[in-house]
Amino acid sequence: MTKVLMKGNEAVAEAAIRSGCRLYFAYPITPQSELIEYMAKMMPKVGGTFLQAESEVAAINMVYGAAGAGRRVMTSSSSPGISLKMEGISYIAGAQLPAVIINVQRGGPGLGDIQPGQSDYFQAVKGGGHGDYHLIVLAPSSVQEFADMAGEAFDLADKYRTAVMILADGMLGQMMEPVEFKPAKTAEEIEALNSQHHDWCICPNVEGPEHHHHEINSLEIDPSVLEQHVYNLYDNYATIEKNELRYESYNVSDDNEILCVAWGTASRIVKSAINELKVEGKSIGMIRPITVWPFPYQEIDAAIGKNVKKVYVFELNMGQMLDDVKIAVNGKVPVDFWGKVGGIVFTPAEIKTKLEECF
Amino acid sequence: MKAEIICAGFGGQGVLTIGKFIAKAGMAEGKHVSWLPSYGPEMRGGTANVSAVVSDEPIASPIVSYPDILVALNQPSLDKFGPTIRPGGVLVVDTGMCPHGLKRDDIQFVAAPFSSIAVEIGSMRVLNMLAIGAVIGRTNIIKYETIEEDLTAFLKAKNPDLLEQNLKAIKRGIEIGKL
Amino acid sequence: MEIIAQRPKALTKLSFTYCPGCLHGVAHRLIAEAVDELGLNDVMTGVAPVGCSVFAYKFFDFDMAQAAHGRAPAVATGIKRARPNMHVFTYQGDGDLAAIGTAEIVHAANRGEHMSVFFVNNAIYGMTGGQMAPTTLPEMKTTTSPYGRKTDDIGFPIRVSELINSLIAPYYIERVSLLTPADIIKAKKAVKKALLYNKEGRGFTFVEFISTCPTNWGIDPLKSREWAKENMLPFFKVGCLRDKGEGVE
């Protein structure tokens, strides 16, 4: 397979189609427009469904319907649009449906701007919608990883019957990098995917068990039944936390005087600064959570070497993942934070300056 | 080797394409590359710019703050990015579009009335190819042959005349870059 | 012994939990009978709304989805696009369809989405306790219009069938009443026609039921039907607004 130069928005769409996604419902919004446009162009060519919904609200409910029918389905948007989807996301969580949602984040709050941001971290990992639930949240830091996560997201969604969010940003959506795609699923593989949920999904009786009455539902009017349902959801989340945690450990060693924690786009820039300072003889490690839910609490704690004076968190927000890092560090060493907001992306030089001040 | 490039100009001058061809060529030559455009309302006729990085090492940050090479095709772009060129870096500038120029003595200038030359060759549409040629002529970050191969695959069957015109523009750009 | 009436196969064995005199049970039964008669039982799926009929997903004995308030047409769109071999309907009340779900119903209809919509209009919110609906009549008192619906303040009732009829795509639109046995027989024909067209893949079909809410209107069941006849039917006129299949065999 040769590499192609592609925008993140297009690469993730292509990878989703290759992963067997044949249904996509969305509403236009910058900076994810290339994603919806790619789907509009390509879905008809593979016999899939592309539908531009009347709203983000309608789009996520179309996803709820198609996921309830047991098919691989995806929607995508950017921050304000994801807010609109939150009601549907909560229902999807409650009804335990597998679905993939992409957020190409921009600056907020409100209409904000259209430049890259990371200020939807809380929304993605701490709820966003109402009720007790989690999404698996994957945070890519390159176009290649963004694309790879499409297939991983569908596999995780199907395995655990949960919604998976890919939390990207305007930079990853808009930038082009070389991408190598995994082979597309064959017709037989897609057929198998379409019938994998026949024991619970909406499907003709002739395709599933003899006669069935499947309910796609998040309503349990009896509090004791609802309580048990939520306990079951959390048993599932516990399994996910045990099995699916992912993070990158960069330049972590006993020599580290600083341990950085950064995710997504921010982590790339921190890496640049770490590399430059390494040349100057300064040892700095970095943990990059790849799943931001589940979050690598213990792994961050374990990466704090004996010479680490400080844990430094860099985000393109006012300090959101920072809270989780503080839980992980639990007072062992001071935790510092620096962020840029409103769609302004910090530069390697700025991060370098911040880190130099620590020595 | 790591070259950080900014191409900037009016929307419609093809600055995004300049970056894209350079990045694609870099990729074809086995290098790590990234291409990051400005986006949003700017693309509707205002100023547009793109950061491209071509490097032997993996690219940590695709954001270019201090370019090694700036291609500036209008005065506002030159005013904005000209001062950020790294000392010793290269400025490819369309003198016809940037009447006020840039006062620096620590960078290399590849200055020519590129827009007028493009019209001379046959069309304003080859302006971006002239600029790519100028970059190749001065810096060697990518090879002419790689771009030629890419363009040929893309255009030979579809529009051989346009292919000829484009290749001519790149070669002319290379000559200017070597001056 | 000859069986002359029995529970339709398309209903589960659960007893309806609706209030005495409520007509949801009648509407459910009409749909279930039509599903049986058209032999759709193995390929039917319904989408339940938020409102009194939220539990419809328990009462119909085929696959059912429960949708967020007003979103049933979007959910049904997702199901139909994902499983084109299945036949989908939504069952929605006036608050669900004509207030919070206005965008979803208008756009599903406008796309000519292959689904049937059964819209129960009783001019009031039932489950939440008798609040004003978009179809509440002028001067009608509800818990959120305690002095009567003031049209200069909150506007007039929405005639949803007429609204849908302004769109090009829908295939069949009819308003029926559930107020008398004779009306119910006519309503059954409309339900069956909607589901037949659905089965044949003809497009978007829409049936509006004029219904009652004795509990929240505060009128006994029989009188509530008289009230509806006198007050609702003059504003919401029954009849077929559109049938593109008329004359088609």
DSSP line for B60-129: S----SS-SEEEE-SHHHHHHHGGGSPTT-EEEEETTT-TT----SSSEEEEE-HHHHHHHHT-GGGHHH
Q: Where in chain B are the domains?
A: 2-178
Tell me the CA distances in angstroms from A120 to A40, A94, A247, C135, one per residue in order: 26, 21, 19, 39
Whether residue A320 lies inside any domain: the answer is yes
pLDDT value at position A127? 85
Q: What is the DSSP letter of B161?
A: H
pLDDT digits over A223-270, tens only?
A: 999 999 999 999 999 999 999 999 999 999 999 999 999 999 999 999
In angstroms, rounded to a whole number, what is the distance separating the alpha carbons of residues A123 and A195? 33
Residue B35: its chain A contacts at CB < 8 A? 5, 175-177
pLDDT value at position A206? 77
Which residue(s) pair with B8 in the sheet?
B49, B72
pLDDT value at position C247? 57
B50 CA to centre of own chain:
10
Whether residue C99 lies inside any domain: the answer is yes
Q: Which domain holds residue C137?
A: 24-243
Whether residue A276 has pLDDT greater than 70: yes
Residue A216: its chain C contacts at CB < 8 A? 63-66
pLDDT band at B40 (very low <50, low <70, confident <90, very high): low
ipTM: 0.96
Looking at the complex, does the CB of residue C109 fall below 8 Å from at least one CB of chain A? no
Q: Which residue, among C13, C79, C87, would best test binding to A if mutated, counting the most A CBs under 10 Å from its CB? A: C79
Q: Which domain holds residue A20?
A: 4-195
pLDDT band at A209 (very low <50, low <70, confident <90, very high): low
Per the CB < 8 Å rule, is A213 touching C103? no
Whether residue A338 lies inside any domain: the answer is yes
Q: What is the mean pLDDT of residues C155-165?
A: 98
pLDDT band at A208 (very low <50, low <70, confident <90, very high): low
State the chains in contact with B (3 or more Cβ–Cβ pairs under 8 Å). A
Q: How many domains does chain C divide into?
A: 1
Looking at the complex, does the CB of residue A189 fall below 8 Å from at least one CB of chain C? no
Whether residue A49 has pLDDT greater than 80: yes
Closest-CA residue of A relative to B28 is A3
Looking at the complex, does the CB of residue C90 fall below 8 Å from at least one CB of chain A? no
pLDDT digits over C192-232, tens only?
A: 999 999 999 999 999 999 999 999 999 999 999 999 999 99
Interface of A with B (CB under 8 A): 3, 5, 30-31, 114-115, 170-171, 174-178, 268-269, 271-272, 275, 345, 347-349
Q: Percent of chain B beyond pLDDT 70?
A: 96
Residue type at C9 in one-letter notation: K
Q: How many domains does chain A divide into?
A: 2
CA atoms within 13 A on the CB side of C222: 0
Per the CB < 8 Å rule, is A211 touching C42? yes
Q: Considering only the beta carbons, identify the residue of A61, A217, A218 that sits closest to C74.
A: A61
Q: What is the DSSP letter of C130?
A: S
Residue A28: its chain B contacts at CB < 8 A? none
A200 CA to centre of own chain:
26
Residue A211: its chain C contacts at CB < 8 A? 42
Token code pair at residue A276: 């430059």
pLDDT value at position C248? 54
Q: What is the mean pLDDT of residues A193-205?
A: 95
pLDDT value at position C249? 47
Q: CB–CB of C123/C157 below 8 Å?
A: yes
Residue A347: its chain B contacts at CB < 8 A? 61, 63, 65
Residues A159 and A275 in one domain: no
Q: Percent of chain A beyond pLDDT 70?
A: 99
| Beta-carbon contacts below 8 Å between A and C | 130
Looking at the complex, does the CB of residue C198 fall below 8 Å from at least one CB of chain A? no
Residues A27 and A123 in one domain: yes
Residue B63: its chain A contacts at CB < 8 A? 171, 269, 345, 347-348
pLDDT band at C13 (very low <50, low <70, confident <90, very high): very high
pLDDT digits over B108-159, tens only?
A: 999 999 999 999 999 999 999 999 999 999 998 999 999 999 999 989 999 9
Per the CB < 8 Å rule, is C75 touching A68? yes
For domain B2-178, give the CATH number: 3.40.920.10
Beta-carbon count within 10 A of C25 CB: 17
Mean pLDDT of chain C: 96
Q: Considering only the beta carbons, identify the residue of C63, C76, C107 that sits closest to A214.
A: C63
Residues A30 and A147 in one domain: yes
In angstroms, rounded to a whole number, what is the distance separating the alpha carbons of residues C224 and C178? 12
pLDDT digits over A88-101, tens only?
A: 999 999 999 999 99
Q: Considering only the beta carbons, identify the residue of A54, A61, A203 that sits closest to C78.
A: A61
Residue with tokens 């006994």: C220
Whether residue A210 has pLDDT greater than 80: no
Secondary structure of chain A as H, E, C letters: CCCEEEEHHHHHHHHHHHCCCCEEEECCCCCCHHHHHHHHHHHHHHCCEEEECCCHHHHHHHHHHHHHCCCCEEEEECHHHHHHHHHHHHHHHHCCCCEEEEEEEECCCCCCCCCECCCCHHHHHCCCCCCCCCCEEECCCCHHHHHHHHHHHHHHHHHHCCEEEEEEEHHHHHCEEEECCCCCCCHHHHHHHHHCCCCCCCCCCCCCCCCCCCEECCCCCCHHHHHHHHHHHHHHHHHHHHHCCCEEEECCCCCCCEEEECCHHHHHHHHHHHHHHHHCCCCEEEEEECEEECCCHHHHHHHCCCCCCEEEEEECCCCCHHHHHHHHHCCCCCEEEEECCCCCCCCHHHHHHHHHCCC
Per the CB < 8 Å rule, is A202 touching C43? no
Task: Tell me the residue length of chain C.
Answer: 249
Residue C107: its chain A contacts at CB < 8 A? 53-54, 58
Nearest CA-CA distance, residue B168 and chain A, Å: 25
Residues A172 and A265 in one domain: no
Closest-CA residue of A relative to C74 is A62
Residues A154 and A37 in one domain: yes
Q: Considering only the beta carbons, identify the residue of A23, A54, A214 that sits closest to C107.
A: A54
Q: Where is the domain boundary, A158, A180, A195? A: A195
Residues A33 and A125 in one domain: yes
State the chains in contact with A (3 or more Cβ–Cβ pairs under 8 Å). B, C
Whether residue A325 lies inside any domain: the answer is yes
In angstroms, rounded to a whole number, what is the distance separating the alpha carbons of residues A352 and A272? 8
Per the CB < 8 Å rule, is A65 touching C47? yes
Whether residue A149 has pLDDT greater than 80: yes
Q: Considering only the beta carbons, identify the residue of A87, A88, A217 that sits closest to C66.
A: A217
Per the CB < 8 Å rule, is A272 touching B60? yes
pLDDT value at position A343? 87
Nearest CA-CA distance, residue A46 and chain B, Å: 24
pLDDT value at position A219? 96
Q: Where is the domain boundary, A127, A160, A195? A: A195
Q: CB–CB of A50/A40 below 8 Å?
A: yes
Beta-carbon count within 10 A of A97 CB: 27
Per the CB < 8 Å rule, is A5 touching B39? no
Backbone torsions φ then ψ of C147, nearest 5 degrees: -105, 15
Residue B52, helix vs strand vs coil: strand
Q: Which residue, among A3, A5, A340, would best test binding to B if mutated, counting the most B CBs under 10 Å from its CB? A: A5
CATH code at position A271: 3.40.50.920
Chains A+C touching (3+ CB pairs under 8 Å):
yes
